[in-house]
Structure 1
């Protein structure tokens, strides 16, 4: 376990919510699932232990029945569409993006249509009509074309802006993506979470999304997830909700 004193700022903020008789809405998204792995088993074990619902962003093209069969009995898990192949099509000097206009729009949309249909067929009632763009990036020009395929919402990163489709975003990323890979220091992630809670306390009603990537977690990242669940799962000021609660 980390030094649990690191978590005091979160406890203090949640006490403020509790004193005001309010509850913060949180949801949990984990990206890049393709097949059953020990890391996925570890994540599911934590979700079950603390009764936290998980939205799993699954890469449609390479996935198949093995993952669907593994998840079939997991009542806390929903399946969402994570692009098509999670392949980058941008030039080397720009931010990675699969769902951009670096290819013909019709090609990109056809992949998103196929991804929706494949995961819906594999997951049935566990499937959620939510698109999670790889690297949290999608060109705005694609958004108006998603609803005819069945998509009801998109999930990227940051406070939601006006869009022609519902946005159910994430706001907390526990990973360090540059330099030495692995989980960010707990104090840094907790600081961001407290900041998001303060924004909500002041009247912003958007649910707070926590984003993880089980396949690349180190001990620090796993410890963060476990401690976050320990600190919040039974807290009077926190509601961990399935992402389906936010899709209208």
Structure 2
């Protein structure tokens, strides 16, 4: 028997299906640089449920080993995770790599090099999506992203009005400010249901402003047992549900 929070999500999805609609889910996993046991477990899980995943890779930290490990996984997309995942903000500020703390030209040069590096390492799975480390970026950089080649930006939280395509994540599995393990499953599910209501409400204008996807954010390097069990339950419920479509990186860019 499902626990109450999973039952609530099932009921909400059933209502979406009954209305003849579908919701686009997507999975973003950050910080892959090399093959690890955590990455192996992630790939095994998404392969089992046929759920695609966008893996955000810091270009300066990766190489051929990760390229070989991801080769052949049709459901994997690779996005640009900044450059070296290095903080350049002073101690009194929140961490940022792509902030206004360095010359704009320096940041753009790193992004250009990172884009080219990942495109060469992952020719079949690369997508022109920028995932800023710590989900923060200087807004003044957005106008320059198309010139680098980027077609979309992904941070965390509801999409805000922007001339540049935003494909954000909305439910983070990690309790970063507390245990640094998995958040309470009910709390994560509540975030998903809230996002579901936001994009499936009756107000079409508000739906358009909110975006069209539900993004789930994971970090395979620091997952505990609670995260893995949450993902198993989420995929079991949603992967074959008629209201759900798990989307690839290419789908999101399109």
The two structures have a TM-score, normalised by structure 2, of 0.94
The answer for the alignment partner of 2:62 in structure 1 is 63
The answer for the alignment partner of 1:234 in structure 2 is 240
The answer for the alignment partner of 1:210 in structure 2 is 216
| Alpha-carbon distance, 1:141 to partner | 0.3
The answer for the alignment partner of 1:73 in structure 2 is 72
Count of aligned pairs: 247
Superposed CA offset, 1:161-183 (max 9, x none): 22232111111111100132101
| Alpha-carbon distance between aligned partners in 2 of 1:116 and 1:190, rounded to the nearest angstrom | 34
Which runs of 5 or more structure 2 residues have no equivalent in the other structure? none
- Correspondences of 1:90-239 after superposition (within 5 Å): 90-202=89-201, 203=204, 204=207, 205-239=211-245
The two structures have a TM-score, normalised by structure 1, of 0.96
Distance change in 2, residues 1:60/1:127 (3 Å): same
Which runs of 5 or more structure 1 residues have no equivalent in the other structure? none
Whether the 8 Å CA contact 2:5–2:190 is kept in 1: the answer is no
| Alpha-carbon distance between aligned partners in 1 of 2:214 and 2:89, rounded to the nearest angstrom | 29
| Alpha-carbon distance between aligned partners in 2 of 1:135 and 1:164, rounded to the nearest angstrom | 22
SS at match of 1:182: coil
SS at match of 1:166: coil
Superposed CA offset, 1:5-59 (max 9, x none): 4311101111111221211111110000000001001000011000000000001
| Alpha-carbon distance between aligned partners in 2 of 1:31 and 1:122, rounded to the nearest angstrom | 17
SS at match of 1:28: strand
SS at match of 1:176: coil
The answer for the alignment partner of 2:81 in structure 1 is 82
SS at match of 1:208: strand
Structural RMSD (CA): 1.3
SS at match of 2:34: coil
| Alpha-carbon distance between aligned partners in 2 of 1:227 and 1:126, rounded to the nearest angstrom | 27
| Alpha-carbon distance between aligned partners in 2 of 1:70 and 1:227, rounded to the nearest angstrom | 26
SS at match of 2:236: helix
